[in-house]
Structure 1
Amino acid sequence: MTDIDEQGRPLPPETGGETETLLGFLDFQRATLAWKCAGLDAAGLAAALPTSAMTLGGMLKHLAYVEQWWFSQWLAGRSPEAPWDTVDWSADADWDWHSAADDTPEQTRTLWEDCVARSRELTAAALAEGGLDTLSRRADSAGRAPSLRWILFHMVEEYARHVGHADLIRESVDGLTGE
């Protein structure tokens, strides 16, 4: 059974194996982002610090994109799904960040939640197939395919970096603080 903290986040196991610990830390980071974005309206999700254009809504949409990029496109070798399949990334390389302002909070949260759910399903399938050593179906131009282990570690890093940003932005919105 997973222990849950006072913010509703699943605590990573202290004595789990590599897979359980890695997934535990990724889910903890995901839950921390959800906590930092919880209860905010469109204005709250659109708030930015004076030195940055980064918003919590943009962060949610960016991380939804990162989830589908690494788990759907790289790990599973799938084509981009909506809304990513129609984006002209050469016209706006930060479309995921910028376009969040056009979405309702519910649309942004649902997109992120759906991408996380799909990532969990694809992770479970890859773990069943070959464990953490499972190579992604997509490879870079040199033919290198990252392992599921690498993708999961990268996602922990990606979330941890952005959760730090989320702490600062959320505090500026309504004073909410905490790890």
Structure 2
Amino acid sequence: MDAAGLATTIGASPLTLGGLIKHLAGVEAMKAGPEIDGSSPGEPWASAPWDEVQDWDFTSAAQDSPEQLYALYDAAVAQAQIRLEAALVRGGLGQRIALSDQVDLEVSLRRNLFDLIEEYSRHLGHADLIREAVDGQVGLDPPYPETS
């Protein structure tokens, strides 16, 4: 999808596909970094101005090109896979991890992964609605070419 498509909003919501991509990249970075082993989520998350702009990930995506957003997401997912695999080797799904550095609460790695699935579930519905407004496509699969 091009920059215009990634910046499209619907209704009164400022939510965009670009913002969702950047947000989910950040979710991957947080769920597989600070929440698993206390490591930094990396950039741009570590230095993002969260105190000044609470929805920074959603709003700052407008300054990123589609290529930057896709690369950010792909890198976050690849890093998360490496960290999650290492965590599974260290202690399996039942091991206790910190929910975050802001909350004094431990949960299992299993719960962390369920939270990740929940985050995607919530936002994929948003993405479907926005995508339909952009080009009429809905669902997971692109249209299949006609075959004779």
Bucket of the pairwise TM-score, normalised by the shorter protein: 0.7 to 0.9
Would you tell me which structure has more helix in proportion to its own residues? 1
Q: What are the residue-to-residue correspondences of 1:20-169 with 2, within 5 Å?
A: 40-136=1-97, 143-169=104-130
Do the aligned partners of residues 137 and 144 (structure 1) sit closer, same or farther apart at CA in structure 2, a change above 3 Å counting? closer
CA RMSD of aligned residues (A): 1.6
Indicate if the aligned counterparts of 1:139 and 1:146 stay in contact, CA closer than 8 A: no
Change beyond 3 A, Cα 1:134–1:89:
same
Deviation at 1:165, TM superposition (A): 0.4
Task: Say if 1:175 and 1:83 are closer, same or farther in 2 by CA, change over 3 A.
Answer: same
SS at match of 1:145: strand
Instruction: List structure 1 segments (4+ residues) > 4 angstroms apart after TM superposition.
Output: 137-142
Which of structures 1 and 2 has the larger relative contact order (alpha carbons within 8 angstroms, sep 6+)? 2
Q: Percent identity, please.
A: 46
Please report the TM-score for the alignment, with normalisation by the length of structure 2.
Answer: 0.88
Normalised to the residue count of structure 1, the TM-score between the two structures is 0.73
Cα distance in 2, alignment partners of residues 142 and 102 from structure 1 = 31
Three-state SS of the structure 2 residue aligned to 1:146 is strand
Higher share in strand: 2
Task: State the match for 2:143 in structure 1.
Answer: none
Gaps of 5+ in 1: 1-39
